[in-house]
């Protein structure tokens, strides 16, 4: 499973983040915040948990469709696709499909609800790259089925997805400037900073994961011309990982409930994220205009709260690693129990970051749950 590969990549990710943090501190441009980083990494854990619980929607449907399509459709010769050039073509074609999934995810409220998690951080650093969406791959699998029609094997589909995912890690940084001709062809830190910004001229631009050529071809490219303000137009303003996942789904539900006409209610999830049905007024019409001047959500944290939240997160990492490394051998009930315990433990982490230091019980509970998952799964493994 690809989540195993990502676990083995952690020894690269963690030192890279540590180096970026140290470099920023030395240059007087620290782009990290403790609570923000913990929440970004917590979303990475949640996304891997969801991947382990939904293998059918991650790669299973593609693996089922691909050989059946090949019985009737032969758009590209299998022998040619098996060459090194064929594997490169798989990455390019995957990146093209990902462009359209990414673009739809900014144009449709329902898809944006899944994708918004990745944009919620008001910081921009390598930990933001690991702030992965839990339900984005679950909803997005139909966009990649054309690869099966072209003839790419399941192995090529998985490998291409990993290449595209891992490539995007390095472009989440403020410490690499413009890169000349590379900015015109590839998704680079400069191009991707634009994508994560809420500046009016930057919204819904630069969707390309590896190649920014797609944006240039289809009219969604914007160059970095002014300092970027990061986050979402309506800030998350919370350190609770579970609320981060649910925030925009809740907003869709509220908007539907406030819509007078049934037909308009049904349209809400499929219209643009900012669409308001007739009869529904914006909560704060001037919010977007004030967004660029709004300070980051970064309330002061007592040292005890920071320490307990960090301890809970470390326990969650150990527990999740133990689970994912043996997930293929575990029964479905154990898998879902582990996922539920992880969610509760991360909720406890969020409580640590919200509450005063005297309220340590959530932190202690989170550590206990993390240890329970790590120890319990070892006992039930066949």
d(C-alpha 373, C-alpha 318), whole Å:
9
**pLDDT for residue 52:** 86
d(C-alpha 137, C-alpha 135), whole Å:
6
Q: Which of 207-211, 269-273, 282-286, 358-362 has the lowest mean pLDDT?
A: 358-362
**pLDDT for residue 275:** 87
CB neighbours of residue 181 within 10 Å? 7
- Comparing CA positions, the residue from 288, 351, 250 lying closest to residue 42 is 351
Instruction: Report whether 194 contacts 202 (CB < 8 A).
Output: yes
Mean pLDDT of 321-327: 80
Mean pLDDT of 109-136: 94
Confidence of residue 121 (pLDDT cuts 50, 70, 90): very high
Instruction: Report whether 273 contacts 109 (CB < 8 A).
Output: yes
- Judge if pTM exceeds 0.95: no
Mean pLDDT of 158-180: 95
The residue that leads in pLDDT, 175 or 276, is 175
d(C-alpha 338, C-alpha 340), whole Å:
5
pLDDT at residue 1 is higher than 50? no
The phi and psi torsions of 260 (rounded to 5 degrees) equal -65, -45
d(C-alpha 353, C-alpha 308), whole Å:
8
Q: What pLDDT digit, counting tens, does each position of 228-270 carry? A: 999 999 999 999 999 999 999 999 999 999 888 889 899 999 9
d(C-alpha 324, C-alpha 375), whole Å:
13
**pLDDT for residue 9:** 75
**pLDDT for residue 217:** 97
Mean pLDDT of 268-279: 87
CB neighbours of residue 201 within 10 Å? 11
pLDDT at residue 115 is higher than 70? yes
Which residue matches tokens 């470390």? Answer: 314
Which residue matches tokens 């590969």? Answer: 5
List of long-range contacts for 290-299, beta carbons under 8 Å, 24+ apart: 291/198, 291/229, 291/233, 291/235, 292/198, 292/199, 292/229, 294/235, 296/33, 296/122, 296/123, 296/231, 297/122, 297/235, 297/236, 297/237, 297/238, 298/33, 298/35, 298/36, 298/122
Q: What pLDDT digit, counting tens, does each position of 24-65 carry? A: 999 999 999 999 999 999 999 999 989 888 887 778 888 888
The percentage of residues in the chain with a pLDDT greater than 70, rounded to a whole number, is 86
Q: Where are the domains of the chain?
A: 2-218, 303-380
Mean pLDDT of 307-330: 83
The residue that leads in pLDDT, 91 or 151, is 91
Q: What pLDDT digit, counting tens, does each position of 353-381 carry? A: 876 545 555 555 666 566 656 655 554 55
pLDDT at residue 3 is higher than 80? no
**pLDDT for residue 277:** 81
CB neighbours of residue 68 within 10 Å? 10
d(C-alpha 306, C-alpha 322), whole Å:
25
Confidence of residue 293 (pLDDT cuts 50, 70, 90): confident
Instruction: Report whether 115 contacts 273 (CB < 8 A).
Output: no
Mean pLDDT of 199-222: 96
pLDDT at residue 306 is higher than 90? no
Which residue matches tokens 């050529």? Answer: 213
By CB atoms closer than 10 A (0-12, 13-18, 19+), residue 297 is middle
Contacts of 46 (CB under 8 A, 6+ apart): 134, 241, 245, 342, 343, 346
């Amino acid at each position: 499973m690809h989540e195993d590969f990502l676990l083995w990549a952690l020894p690269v990710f963690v030192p890279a983040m540590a180096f970026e943090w140290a470099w920023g501190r030395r240059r007087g441009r620290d782009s990290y915040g403790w609570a923000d980083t913990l929440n970004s990494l917590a979303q990475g854990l949640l996304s891997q948990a969801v991947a382990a619980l939904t293998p059918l929607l991650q790669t299973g449907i593609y693996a089922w469709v691909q050989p059946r399509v090949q019985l009737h459709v032969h758009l590209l010769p299998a022998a040619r696709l098996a060459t090194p050039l064929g594997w490169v073509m798989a990455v390019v074609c995957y990146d093209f499909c990902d462009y359209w999934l990414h673009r739809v995810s900014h144009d449709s409220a329902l898809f944006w609800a899944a994708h918004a998690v990745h944009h919620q951080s008001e910081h921009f650093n390598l930990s933001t790259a690991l702030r992965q969406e839990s339900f984005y791959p679950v909803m997005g699998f139909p966009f990649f089925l054309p690869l099966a029609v072209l003839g790419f094997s399941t192995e090529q589909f998985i490998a291409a997805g990993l290449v595209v995912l891992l490539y995007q890690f390095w472009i989440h940084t403020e410490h690499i400037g413009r890169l000349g001709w590379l900015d015109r062809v590839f998704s680079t830190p400069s191009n991707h900073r634009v994508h994560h910004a809420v500046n009016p001229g930057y919204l819904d631009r630069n969707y390309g994961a590896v190649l920014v050529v797609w944006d240039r071809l289809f009219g969604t490219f914007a160059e970095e011309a002014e300092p970027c303000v990061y986050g979402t137009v309506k800030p998350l303003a919370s350190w609770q990982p579970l609320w981060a996942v649910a925030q925009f789904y809740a907003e869709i539900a509220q908007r539907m409930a406030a819509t007078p006409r049934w037909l308009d209610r049904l349209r809400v999830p499929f219209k643009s994220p900012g669409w308001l049905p007739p009869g529904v007024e914006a909560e704060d019409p001037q919010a977007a205009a004030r967004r660029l001047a709004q300070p980051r959500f970064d309330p002061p944290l007592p040292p005890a709260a920071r320490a307990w939240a960090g301890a809970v997160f470390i326990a969650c990492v150990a527990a999740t690693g133990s689970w994912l490394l043996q997930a293929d051998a575990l029964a479905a009930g154990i898998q879902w129990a582990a996922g539920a315990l992880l969610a509760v433990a991360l909720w406890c982490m969020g409580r640590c970051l919200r509450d005063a230091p005297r309220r340590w019980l959530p932190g202690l509970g989170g550590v206990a749950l993390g240890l329970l998952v790590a120890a319990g799964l070892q006992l039930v493994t066949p």
